[in-house]
Amino acid sequence: MAIVLQQEAIGRQLGSRVSVRAACQINSTFIRSARFVLQQKGITPAKSMVLCGGPDWPTSVLTGIMGLSCPQMLLGSVPVVLIIAPSTALGAFLTTANRPGWDALSKVVTLVAVGSQLGASVGFAAVIERAASTHAAQIAALPIDEEVAALDAQAATHARAWRQCSDWRQPDHPPLARALLLCGAVLGLVACHLSVLLRCFERVTVADPFDGDPLHGDALRVVRGWRGWLVISCFALACVVLAAHRTWLGRRARELLDRGLLQNTAGGLLPASEAFEPEAGPRCAPPAASTTRT
């Protein structure tokens, strides 16, 4: 049910949006290698490894964005029960970790669950890497999403403008922007080191009753006095300061592009209308739903 909902109700619907396909890097070598593996006929070990070892929700949604067959994805995901079983057992044993004699067994189940998850993740990465190196020619021949390629070119241009604006060694870089960035960094470092050097929060596990020690029915008791609230305040203030700095950088980058002051790699000015050449390869027409949106 999760695979069907994530692939059909979420992935296939969101796949009509160019911004979503671009955010998923649908034209990248990694995603194209995954597509090549998942498009193979039948249920192969490599296909099952990608479906079971990849990130759960993103993998299912990505298969819908790529328009793959849902029954094929369901069949290829059957071996995931080998990963789900120890993970479910781990959740059960964590709730009994405080009972006499169960602690050692809980640690054994934890090792089994972590090992299965790690093995699946390593297998997923190995399958993608092997496909990218062994079938490089076939993967390069897969069609490229034209709309995503154009959006990626715009994003690359904006990223260059962003890097140019964020270089505070420039003589016209405002002192206030430097102060904001330094202030946010210092606040983040203070929050991080305080949480390590001092005991700012209570240690709570899933085996601890909510009405018992240390919470006693109040979730806020997880914060230990002024030290905990100081860490939270520093972290929250750092987020606000850095968000303000990021907003200023975004506005400054847009102004730089509008005025045509983006520098090229040789140090000269690059016209704002100049776009990067997208990755070479065969083109494909965008989905019909995205054509109407555009």
Per-residue pLDDT reduced to its tens digit, 175-228: 989 999 999 999 999 999 998 888 899 988 877 888 888 888 889 999 998 999
Average model confidence (pLDDT) across the chain: 84
Residue 282 reports pLDDT greater than 70: no
The answer on 191 and 126 residing in a single domain is no
Q: Which of 91, 124, 142 is the last residue of a domain?
A: 142
Mean pLDDT within 227-248: 94
The answer on 35 and 172 residing in a single domain is no
Percent of the chain with pLDDT over 70: 89
Residue 128 reports pLDDT greater than 50: yes
The answer on 117 and 195 residing in a single domain is no
Banded model confidence at residue 264, pLDDT cuts 50, 70, 90? low
Percent of the chain with pLDDT over 90: 46
Q: How far is CA 293 from the centre of its chain?
A: 26
The answer on 247 and 158 residing in a single domain is yes
Please tell me the pTM assigned to this model: 0.66
The answer on 121 and 239 residing in a single domain is no
Q: Pick 127 or 100 by higher pLDDT.
A: 127
Residue 48 reports pLDDT greater than 80: yes
Looking at this protein, which amino acid is placed at residue 236? A
- Least reliable range by pLDDT among 31-45, 65-79, 165-179, 268-282: 268-282
The answer on 128 and 196 residing in a single domain is no
pLDDT value at position 46? 93
Q: Which of 104, 119, 142 is the last residue of a domain?
A: 142
Q: 172 lies in which domain range? A: 148-293
The answer on 69 and 55 residing in a single domain is yes
The answer on 162 and 81 residing in a single domain is no
Q: Pick 80 or 290 by higher pLDDT.
A: 80
Upstream peptide bond of 214 is cis (omega within 30 degrees of 0): yes
Long-range CB contact pairs, 59-62, < 8 A, 24+ = 60/2, 60/3, 60/6, 60/7, 60/11, 61/6, 61/7, 61/10, 61/11, 61/14, 62/11, 62/24, 62/31, 62/34
The answer on 253 and 152 residing in a single domain is yes
The answer on 112 and 13 residing in a single domain is yes
pLDDT value at position 50? 94
The answer on 173 and 152 residing in a single domain is yes
Q: Which of 120, 142, 164 is the last residue of a domain?
A: 142
Cα Rg, the chain, nearest whole Å: 25
How many domains does the chain fold into? 2
pLDDT value at position 11? 93
Q: Pick 58 or 282 by higher pLDDT.
A: 58
Mean pLDDT within 106-121: 89
The answer on 112 and 166 residing in a single domain is no
